[in-house]
Every structure is written in C-alpha cells, then in structure tokens.
Chain A
Amino acid sequence: MQCGGFRVSYRSDERIFETYTPIVAIVLLLAALCTVPLFATTYWLDVLNRIGIAIIGALGLNILIGYTGQISIGHAAFLAVGAYATAILEAKAGLPFYLAIPLAALLTSVFGLMFGLPSLRLKGLYLAIATLAAHFITTYVIIHWESMTNGVLGFLVPPATIFGFPLDSDARIFYLIFALVVPAACCTKNLFRTKVGRAFIAIRDRDVAAEVIGVSLFKYKLLAFLISSFYAGVAGGLMAHHSRILFVDAFTLLVAIDYLAMIIIGGMGSVLGSIFGAAFMTLLPEVLKLSATSLTGVYPQAFGLIASTRDVIFGLAIIFFLMFEPQGLARIWLRFRNYWKLWPYSY
C-alpha cells in the first residue's frame, strides 16, 4: 500500500502507474474482455461494441474540450464524415478496411482542421455556435451529395474482411473495436505526457498566457482539432462497420450532445472519465429500455408514458451531475478508490 511519493528522477515522475498492481489489473481486465464474446448474447455484445466506439469518440472530444478548452458541438459531423468516408472508400474504391479506416480518419482530421480555423478567431460561445453551424452544413452536404452518399436512403456498408474472413457479426467486430480502444486510450494518456499535451492544457487554462510563454496558439489549436477529429474519424469508421447501414439520422445534433454529456458526466480532462462517460451514456437508454419493456409487460397501456421518460431522465442526469459532481464519474471513482486504498485509515 502506498503512502506518499518518493521520486528520484524525472522519468519516475512521469510514470502513469506508480506500482505494478494497476498494470496487472488492467492486463487481467483485458484478458477477461477477450473472453466476453464467448458467452455474451448478441444484444450485450452490441451494447459493448457501441460503448467501445463511444469511448474512442469521447476520447477525441475530451482532447478537444477537456484538455484544450475549445468548445465544439460538431462532433457528430466528424463522426458522420468518418463513417461515410470509410463506407465510400470501401464500397466505391474497393479498399480493405485496414486502409479505409485510417484514410477516412485522415480525411476527417483535414475536415476537422477546416472547422477548427474559426477557433483562431473565436472563443467560447462563438466557437460553439460556429461548430453548430458546421454540423448542419455537413449534414446537408451528406444528404444532398446523393451520387456519393445515397442521400436519405441509407448506405449499405460491406463487411470488413481480414484475409477473406468477414467480420460481420457483433462478436467478431468486438475484437476489432477493442483492439482499437486500447491503443486509443494509451495514446491519449501518453499525449498528455508530451510537449504537445502540455501545450493543450496551457491553452485551456490561460491561452493568452500560453501565447506569451511561446506556445503557438495557431499551431496547437489546429493540432487539437486535427487529433480530435482523427479519433472521431476512427470511431465513425467503426460505426459504419458495426451498424452495416449508414443513415444521416445516426448523426444528428443529439449525438453531438450525447458525446458532450459523456465527457461532462464522465469527467473532463481525464481518460478514465471518457471511458466512464461513454459507458454511462450508452447504458442509460438500454437500462431504460429494459425497464420499459418489463414494465410494459405488466402495464401495457403505459407504454407511451414510459417511452417519453427517456428525455426526462437524460436531462435530469445531466443536471444532476453538473450540480452535484461537476468533475464527473471519474472523480467519484477516484474518491471511492482512495477511500478503499487507505482503509481503515481515513487519510
């Protein structure tokens, strides 16, 4: 059990895990995760897949908002670009998914760069509104560029294949998704040990001061948008493969708000927060659906009433967290963990 820190080098200061125990725990967790598809039903695999995709998207958004302090409501648009780009590259250019997804993510980051340009002139609220506009313009283009995207009718995505082995079931896609979630989380954590990461945090805390000490706002703000949209592009590409059909309706403004809720409820500026937030926001509607279905079995006439509680509970969850725990689930977890770490002592 740890009792304070004793560091003798910069290297040891930068370590993510102080002892070996968390590392062992994480490895065991990952191993357990690998065995999940063997016994879980397709429904729960589907939920886990969606959580995985949401984690990658939330990590990206957290980099932008939680660490760099730039407000963006356009995340759904980036996901859409990533998803459609992947689908179009595979369906029309015949690329295999391991080329299509990275390429689509790169395209998305260029796209994100474009919409990051206003951030150089605008701050806070104005940036938020600019990204709102970006969202609607993107949606419009996707709907009306019918020759490429099939418009409102939906775009059928061919299944990802590795050496002829199609990844067309939830169980198989599970491995692909979590094979990408782990590096995404590691990369994010490492990003904030580097110069780039520290520059981001500086910009969030006091951008004028950051500029004074030599952090180029131009370069780093755009870089933040670039990286964040790259993550969104990957998440979008995985969405395309997971749901197999792409509709513009999967990328409404509500999706962007969902992601915002994920990082706020989960905890801004923390990798663990993104993971918790993603899991929470994905599970919330599922739990509601399950209780709705079981309650409907008892009270069939109440179905309409129960269906509209989704909005109410979503809103209340956001308000509740913002009022009582602004630093999110990550903070709650941290308190919980510290309590048990030091038990039976209180500090």
Chain B
Amino acid sequence: MSRQRNLPIRFLIFVLLGVSLACTPAAAQPPIKLGNLVDLTGPTSEQGKDIAQGRTDATQYFNEQGGINGRKIELVSVEYGFQPPRAVAAYKKFVEEDKVLLVLGYGTPDTEALRPFITKDKMPYLSGSYSGHLTDPKQTPYNFPGGIDYTSQIRIFLNYVKETWTDASRKPRLAFICADNAYGRAPIESGRKYAQQIGVDLVDEEIIPTVLTDATSQLLIMQKKNPDFAYINTNTQWVPVVLKDSYKLGLKTRYVVNNYGIDERTPSLAGEAGEGVMGIADIAYWGDDVPGMKILMDFHNKHHPNDTHYSAYMRGWLWTLLAVEAIKRAGSDLTGDAVKKALESLRDFDTWGLTPPFTYTADDHRPTTRAKLYVIKGGKLVPMREVSVDRDMAWIGK
C-alpha cells in the first residue's frame, strides 16, 4: 500500500540528514570561532562569492601556518542572501550558540541594523560594510569597517571634481546615483553637506533599485540637469547597466564609481560605455605588484588554479588577516573587549601591501583615508593617482 511505500523513503531522508549533522569533526584544542556572514544568492552575490572564497582560503592558509598561538581558526559561515532578517538571526546564533570571538560581517543594511546588539554584546564586528555610520567609537565602539569608508570616498570624489574643474565661469555640476538601500544611501547626507561646504553644485540625486535592469528613465531625468560629474554608489553587478544606458543616451557626464562598484570585470562588462569612467579602489586588484599578492597567488595555484579572482577575493583575505592579527595581539585574553583593544592598537599596520597601511584608534575607527583612483582606458583599469582626504573628525560617524 502507498503509505508503506512512502515511509521508508522519508525515513531514509531523515537518516541521511542526521548523519550529515553528526559529521562534525572533533578538534584537539578548541578552535577559535569566527562568525562569517556572506551573500551568495542575493544582489551582491557576485562579490559575495569571492569574499567567501577569500575568507575561507585565508583561514585555511593561517591554519596551515599553525593557527593563532597554536589554536586553529574555524569559520562559522552563514549565507544570508543580503536579507537583513536572516543576518539578524545568524548573528543571534553566532553570539549565543557558537560563541564566536569576532564576526566577519558583510552588508551595510544588516551591519547598521545590528549596531545596538553589537554594542550590547561587545562583539568585535569587522564588516565588509564601509559605512560612515560605523566609524565613530563613541556610537559604535565594536564596529570596525574593513576599509576606507563611503563618506571619505564621496569626499574624495567631491575634492577631485573641485580640483580638476577649470571653467572659472561657473561651479561644477554633479549628481549622485545611489542604490535604494542602506548601503547606497549611506554617504548621501554627508555628500550633500560636503558639496555645499566646498562650493560645488549638487544638481541631482537619482535613486536606482537595488536590482537594476534599466536606468534609462532615471538617466533621462538626470540629463535634464546636465551634470558634469556623477558619483555611482551601487554594486559591481549593476554599474555596467548605468554606464551602458548612459552611453546609449549619449550623456556627457563623467562618472566616478565607489570601491564596491568597480572591479576587474567592469571594463569588459561595460564595453565601450566604460571608457573614461573612473573608480575608487580600496584594495589591490588581482595580479597587482604588491608583496601580499604572491602569497595569494601561491595559495590559489596550489588549491584551485582554475578559478579566477577579483578584488573582492583580496578583501576576504584582508579582513581575515586583520582578525587574525588582532586576536594574536590579544594573546591569552580572548574576550571581545581585548580583541577590540587589539584592533585599536593597529598603527600603520602593513596589510601585505594590499591596501594603504591601516590605523584604528580608540577615537577613530576609520582604517585609512587613502585610496587609488583608476580610470578605464582601452578596456583596462589604469591607475591614475593616489587620492586621500584628511582624517577630519567632523565627518566621523556620519
């Protein structure tokens, strides 16, 4: 009879699941656990894949080097599809079930939302989100953005516009094109204020959906105001759409893209539309001539030589490196507070040359305010110059 046929199959399925659950390897000395939040199926999955790979590889590398003070590192990884409610659930699990020492966070919406919990739990949170709202230790003492913050980046853009503007008859006109989520909107407010402060004309702000298929109508609206420059604050997957639509409309606007909007693939994805587009780079690109690249390339060749990697992969390594260094410095005192202080003790820390040296202090969680400006020329990313802003405390936490 049918019910007897179904029961064994269901039983088998449950047994298989149970066996996989039981397959947790036993460790000699308890490993140090780090929470790992990634997006592999959502709107930032393109970079998420590389970030996850970078973190996993770096962890394996450090474990091969002997771990931290003899203890192995274990990543507790949760994929959350860029959906903040899943991130909150994962965070709860990290804190209460897995008892992680530090969380390698990911997106701005969830990191910003978790701020009160992070502070309450004293959980050092090294995030992929570089939101300016995470840089003030007075408000968010345990949040550490893993790179140059978005507010500093937008100030770099505005400074660049002002410096290179040669027409004395009028002020330069510019626009912001931002994704419709906490990440895209993070620097808008500060950008507005700073634009006013240095005397450039912010003529238009366009909000584009997180998942972008067609930007034509938004660009047509922007075209009416005819800006000379525009700052794009969305992810690498969607920037080519903006660029191609702009090219199709024949817009004369020059674009600058933030660090998460441009990577090695952008020139080929955007094609002719990408020529002359500039981007801010927070980290080295794959194959760049920096000391750390050799370690990454050796690892890549040894373990998965057939993959390709982009800048997000380097970021995964970078943040793991920071976490490992901080935990090393905390020594035998493995508490959230000690790791926080250890991070804040990093002064001009050499990140294997992947980024400018990092400095976190007890008053300022901005790791650096230096970056590189690249331009797409002839279908390739060509470095233009180094750019930076000063560590003006007026912009901290904004």
Contacts and interface: CB of A to CB of B under 8 A. Distances in A.
Whether chains A and B associate is yes
A154 B109 contact: yes
Nearest to B23: A294
A250 B83 contact: yes
Contacts of B85: 243, 247, 249-250
A303 B49 CA distance: 10
B77 A293 contact: yes
A297 interface: yes
A291 B77 contact: no
B41 interface: yes
A98 interface: no
Given A295-B23, A297-B24, A300-B75, A245 B17 contact: no
A250 B85 CA distance: 6
B23 A301 contact: no
A298 B26 CA distance: 10
Contact of B84 (A250, A287, A294, A295): A250
Contacts, number: 107
A190 interface: no
A42 B56 contact: no
A124 to B, nearest CB: 29
Contacts of B22: 294
B366 to A, nearest CB: 21
A41 B97 contact: yes
Contact of B17 (A143, A287, A297, A304): A287
Interface size band for B: 35 or more
Contact of A294 (B3, B20, B96, B116): B20
A301 B3 CA distance: 40
A249 B83 contact: yes
A297 B304 CA distance: 18
A154 B84 CA distance: 9
Contact of B97 (A42, A156, A300, A339): A42
A153 interface: yes
Interface string A232-252: 000000000001110101101
A245 B115 CA distance: 11
Interface string A256-271: 0000000000000000
A165 interface: no
Interface of B: 3, 6, 17, 20-25, 38, 40-41, 49, 52-53, 56, 59-60, 74-79, 82-85, 88-89, 92-93, 96-97, 109, 112-113, 116, 180-182, 185, 303-304
Interface of A: 41-43, 46, 143, 152-154, 156, 170, 243-245, 247, 249-250, 252, 287, 289-298, 300-301, 303-304, 307-308, 310-311, 324-325, 332, 335, 339
Closest 7 CB pairs of A and B: A307-B79, A250-B85, A42-B96, A43-B97, A291-B20, A247-B84, A154-B113
